[in-house]
Amino acid sequence: MKRVILFVATNLAILVLLGIVSSLLQGYLAQEGIEFERMGLLIFAGVFGMGGSFISLAISKWMALRATGAQVIESPSNDAEHWLVETVRQHAQAAGIGMPQVAIFPSDAPNAFATGARRDAALVAVSSGLLQNMNRDEISAVLGHEVSHIANGDMVTLTLIQGVLNTFVLFFSRIIGEFIDRAIFRNENGRGMGYFAATIFAQIVLGALASIVVMWFSRQREFRADAGGARLAGRQGMIDALQRLGGLSDRAQPLPQQMAASGISGGRGMMELFASHPPIDERIRRLQMGEAR
């Protein structure tokens, strides 16, 4: 509940800030003979920026289950499922969160993810490949990592950051479009091609810059979740799990694109700035040196 209140409060604060900025810009642009509908733009940016992220968070569990084909363990049918559920339960109790749903999804690659809008009603899922290729100490560490994501509120925080940046991108890309259309192309008869071309280009550039910020936070949260996994399941277990993941990287089958940042491995970008996960060697080094936070 606290994070939902933070989400709403941040949304309102951003709209107030953009309102002040747009008021200043409107005065400046009016002197140049450029006018734009300030309130309409604010509402548009807020609804589609924050609103879209909030909806994605609200349906994140449903989307994850559909995207991966994961099956929730309603009643354990064998010893492995019973152990899996009980291990998640122990980690959740130690982390001070409600019991998440536990699921298994079909994939030869070892991977796992956690998602959900609330820390007391989340989902932890592991791949069949992870269960087949890792021992129980390593799996326990992976589960501790995912439970730590939930306890840290990473899903809500990442959504909040993404929503704030989406709002800024939508707002400023259209301001740039208006400016270029009127000041450079001297279009006085409504919005011309200059506006649409400049808006699309600005949205691509600003969106790329926003992605750098989001991916930086995503990498930092992986370090924190590694540290959480070490606290819940033992530092050596977490190190062993990461080493095993690194050794099985040739089997990597990435999660669906919309979930790339959610897995315990994968999500590496073509450029380090756009990578959702730090290199596994760096994650191991931080754990060995006690630097992970």
Residues taking part in catalysis:
146
Q: What amino acid occupies position 232?
A: L
**3-class DSSP state of 204:** helix
The CA dihedral of 225, 226, 229, 234, to the nearest 10 degrees, is -160
User: Is residue 284 within 8 Å of residue 290, measured between CB atoms?
Assistant: no
Residue with tokens 């642009």: 29
Nearest of 293, 285, 291 to residue 239 by alpha carbon: 285
The secondary structure of residue 1, as a DSSP letter, is: -
Q: How far is CA 124 from CA 72, 152, 205, 234, in A?
A: 9, 14, 35, 19
The phi and psi torsions of 102 (rounded to 5 degrees) equal: -120, 135
Which residues face 126 on adjacent strands? 104, 112
Quickly list DSSP for 129-144: HHHHHS-HHHHHHHHH
Alpha-carbon distance of 254 to 225, in angstroms, equals 19
Look up residue 266 and give its two tokens: 């994968």
When computed from its CA atoms, the radius of gyration of the chain, rounded to whole angstroms, is 22
Query: Based on the number of CB atoms within 10 Å of its own CB, is 121 exposed (0-12), middle (13-18) or buried (19 or more)?
Result: middle
SS3 127: strand
